Structure 1
Amino acid sequence: MPSDRRLLAGGAGLVALTAAVSVLAYPEMPAEMATHWNAAGDVDGTMPRALAFALFPVLNAGLFALFLALPRLDPRTDYEQFRAAYDAAALVTLALLAYVNAVVVLANASYEFELLQALAPAIGAVYAVAGYVTERAEQNWFVGVRTPWTLEDEDVWNRTNHAAGRLFKVAGVVAALGVFVPEYALALVLGPVVAIAVASFGYSYRLYHRAN
C-alpha cells in the first residue's frame, strides 16, 4: 500500500475507533468524569461528560492531521527514505491515545485497577516502536534525536540515532515491567526516557566535537 494511503487508512481507522468508544460508552458514564490522576493514582481532575468524551477523538484527529502534514512541512528531507518507520511512529501514537481513551472509560465505569499499571505495556510498546523509528530516521527536523550537533553533521546524526534507537527498545521492555511492579511503574516508565534524553544530548555533543 502506498505510504500516504497506509497512514490515511490506519490513522482514520484509529480516530474512528476512538470516537466509537466514546459514543458507545457515553450513556453509561457519570455526569462528571475523572480525566486526570496524580502519581499516586488518585483522581485530581474531572471534566463534564460531554467535554471528556470529545477530548480524545478531537486530540487524535488533530494528531492525525499533524502526522499527515509533517513530511510536507520539512524542507530538508525526503520522508520516503524512511516512510514505513515514520508511519509506524504515527500509527502507534494514535493507537496509544485510543488505548488511553479506553482506559479512562473503564476507570469511570468503576473498574478497579492501577492506572499506570494498565498504561505501562502500551507505553512500552510505544518506546519499542520509537526505537525502530529512531534507528531508521534520516536527518530531518521532526523525527529522531534532534540536537544542534545531529542536525549539523550527518555522521553524528546516524551514530546518535542508532544508539538511541537501541536504548529505546530496552526502555520499552523496562516500561512494560510496570505491569508486574505497579509501585515502581512511574519510575520504570519515565526513568529510561529521561536517561536516554540526557545520554543522547551528551553523546551527540561529544561525537561532534571529537570530529570537528
Structure 2
Amino acid sequence: MTQFKKFYDLSQPVYDHCPGWPTYEPTVVRYEATYEKNRFNAEQIRLNSHTGTHLDAPFHFFPDGKTIDQLDVSHFQGNAVIVDLRGIIQAKQGIDASHLEPYADKIHEGSIVLFDTGWNEKRSFDKEYTNDWPYLTGEGAEWLKAKGIKGVGIDTLSMGGWYEGTGRPCHEALLSGGIWILEEISIPDELAKLGSCYLMAFPIKLKGFSGGPARAVAAV
C-alpha cells in the first residue's frame, strides 16, 4: 500500500452567504439547536449542489446522463497532474490546447488533471471572481478527452466561463465522455510546485442530483 507523507485540503469552505454562482440563491446556514438552549449543536444548510468545492456529473448537462450517485465511487481518486497556469492565464481567457501541450507526456489515460490558475486566492464577491474567471475551452476539453482522462478540476467557480458561449462547450465535451468535473478547488503553492499528487474527491451521495459538494484532498 502506498504510504503518503502529507495531505493537502484542496476544498473551499462553505458558510452562510459564501460566494457562489451569481444566479443561484445564496447559501443560508442556521442553527436548529444550540448548546446554550439544547446542550448540543445542530445546523441546517440550504445551498445549491454546485456551491463551493463540488463535482459535476453528466446529468448536469445531459438529461439522460448519470447522476452523481450513479457514478462509480472508485473513479473519484487517482494520480493527478497539476497544470500550472499562474501568471500565464488571465481574466476571461480560455485554456486551450496550447496550454496543455507542455504537459502532454505527463497526462495519460486514466489521469486526473488539475488546473492551477491562482483564482482560488481571489474568492470573494468581486466581479473578477464571480464573472471574469479563466475557463477551459471546448478545444481544450476535446484535447483532454482524446487523452482518455477520467477527471479534471479547476480553482474557479466553473470549468466553463460565465459569458455567452464559454460555459457549455467544455462541459458537454467532458461530461459526454464520462469525465467528471471538479470545480472551485484551492491548490496551495507548496503542492503546485510538486506538479503532481494523488487526488481523492468524494462527493456526497445525493440521489438524482447533477452534482454534489466534495471534500477534495491531495496526498503526496
Bigger fraction of residues in strand: 2
Is the structural similarity TM-score above 0.5?
no
Structure number with the bigger relative contact order (C-alpha 8 A, sep ≥ 6) is: 2
Bigger fraction of residues in helix: 1
TM-score tier after normalising by the smaller chain length:
under 0.3
Larger radius of gyration: 1
- For normalisation by structure 2, the TM-score amounts to 0.21
- For normalisation by structure 1, the TM-score amounts to 0.22
